[in-house]
Amino acid sequence: MVMAFRFKWVPFAATVLLVALGVSLGRWQDRRAADKSAAEARLQAGQAGAPLLLGAAAVPAAEVAQVEFRRVRVTGRFVADWPLYLDNRPSAKGVGFYLLMPFRIDGSDQHVLVARGWLPRNSAMREQLPPYGTPSGTVTLEGVARLHAGHVMQLGTAPPLKPGAIVQNAGVAEVAAASGLRMQPFIIEQTAPAGAEDSGLSHDWPAPASGVDKHRGYAFQWYALAVMAALFFVATGFRRGKQN
77 vs 123 pLDDT, higher one: 77
- Residues 175, 226 within the same domain: no
pLDDT of residue 234: 85
Q: Is the pLDDT of residue 122 over 90?
A: no
Average pLDDT, the chain: 86
CB of 59 within 8 A of CB of 70?
no
15 vs 155 pLDDT, higher one: 15
238 vs 161 pLDDT, higher one: 161
Residue 91 structural domain: 70-190
* 100-104, 138-142, 224-228: range with lowest mean pLDDT: 224-228
Q: Is the pLDDT of residue 39 over 80?
A: no
| 222-242: average pLDDT | 83
- pLDDT tens for 152-197 read 777 667 778 999 999 999 999 999 999 999 999 999 999 999 988 9
| 19-31: average pLDDT | 89
Would 62 be classed as within a structural domain? Answer: no
- Residues 185, 216 within the same domain: no
pLDDT of residue 81: 95
What total number of domains does the chain contain?
2
| 24-47: average pLDDT | 76
From residue 232, alpha-carbon distances to 112, 175, 229, 241 in Å are 57, 53, 5, 14
Would 57 be classed as within a structural domain? Answer: no
- Residues 174, 91 within the same domain: yes
The pTM for the full model equals 0.71
- Residues 77, 185 within the same domain: yes
